[in-house]
Amino acid sequence: MYSIDLMVEEHKNINRMLAVIQKICCGILEGEEVDDTEHREIIDFVRNYANLHHHGKEEKILFPEMVNTIGKVADQVITHGMLVEHQLGRAHVMAWETALNMYKQNPKTEFKLDIITEAMGYAHLLQMHTEKENNAVYPLSERTLPAELWEDINNRVKIFEEEQTKAGVQEKYLNLLARLEEKYMKER
């Protein structure tokens, strides 16, 4: 299924960035400096690739159709599960950015700890979140949504993807991901 395959592929990209986040946080624990620019680049990736690009398709296209068509089960899973986790992720990112700002003004250990805590909090949340979507939410949608609705969902997702491609979103953030993986995911 086009839409689901695309979202699962995006989960792989997001999880690749989560591995980079973990490497960077481990490096800080081992004495490396906080690279403010890289942290802000990752936050930009999270906000614009993971959140606006990926979650945008879920929140604007797939999830509303699931709630409207499936009903109470989907409402519980989506509204009280996945969407809550999206908001928790956004809260971690906001707190991560705040910690970076505080550390930049006053490089105290407590702010460095907050950077690591929020970055890793986000990474752990999103890793579990993507597993739930891949293994429970997406299969539920594939089993229960009718074929004609899937045709509409897939068309809307294609249009969304084309707009994002024209804006250079995928290229920009996948290039950033590749650059950071090259730096951090080599054997050290």
State yes or no: pLDDT of 170 exceeds 70. Answer: yes
In this structure, the number of other CB atoms found within 10 A of the CB of residue 146 comes to: 9
Closest CA to 49 of 128, 139, 161: 161
- The string over 11-27, giving b where at least 16 C-beta atoms fall within 10 Å of a residue's C-beta and e elsewhere, is bebbeebbebbbbbbee
pLDDT tens digits, one per residue of 14-54 = 999 999 999 999 999 999 999 999 999 999 999 999 999 99
Q: What CATH architecture does domain 2-184 belong to?
A: Up-down Bundle (1.20)
Give phi and psi for 119, each to the nearest 5.
Answer: -60, -45
Listed by start position, the domains of the chain span: 2-184
Cβ atoms of 85 and 55 closer than 8 Å = no
Share above pLDDT 90 across residues of the chain, in percent, rounded to a whole number: 98
**What pTM was computed for the model?**
0.96
Give phi and psi for 147, each to the nearest 5.
Answer: -55, -40
pLDDT tens digits, one per residue of 144-155 = 999 999 999 999
Side chain identity at 142, as an amino acid letter?
E
Q: What is the pLDDT of residue 187?
A: 57
Q: What is the pLDDT of residue 177?
A: 98
pLDDT tens digits, one per residue of 82-141 = 999 999 999 999 999 999 999 999 999 999 999 999 999 999 999 999 999 999 999 999
